[in-house]
Structure 1
Amino acid sequence: MLQLVWVIVSILLIIIIFLRTPQENVGLSSFATKSDILGSPSSAERFLNIFTGFGILIYFAIALQFNLSS
């Protein structure tokens, strides 16, 4: 079960990191102004930063658990 969560977190982190747009690109702000799903571009970026950081912490915690158990 823990390994399944680890794989899902890994895939989500890869997707989030690859889909992040550079600061000079207007992709995220354009999407945020067309649909009100993410709110303002700054709040959307803040949410993605927090979500990415939380995912990284979960990934490291599970990796540490796997290393200590083997």
Structure 2
Amino acid sequence: MITFKIMDGEIMKALKNFKATAQAIPKEEGCLVKWILEYEKRSQNIPDPVDYRELATKICRDMDGHLAANFN
């Protein structure tokens, strides 16, 4: 399990807090990765930060490629 907490940057102008947690759950072959995004918007008019789902997917694919290249 790994947790990312964003404390500064452009996104924090819209959010009071933002935390992303990735948990690898072992399966017979490989793992299932579960992401949990926790955030609090500064106002209801601000859209949900859905672009971070794409970032989470990219991180998983990059880690998968790294692990496959180094441990197979």
Instruction: Please tell me the TM-score bracket, short chain as reference.
Output: 0.3 to 0.5
Q: Per residue, is there more helix in 1 or in 2?
A: 1
Which structure's relative contact order is higher, taking Cα pairs within 8 Å and 6+ residues apart? 1
Q: Per residue, is there more strand in 1 or in 2?
A: 2
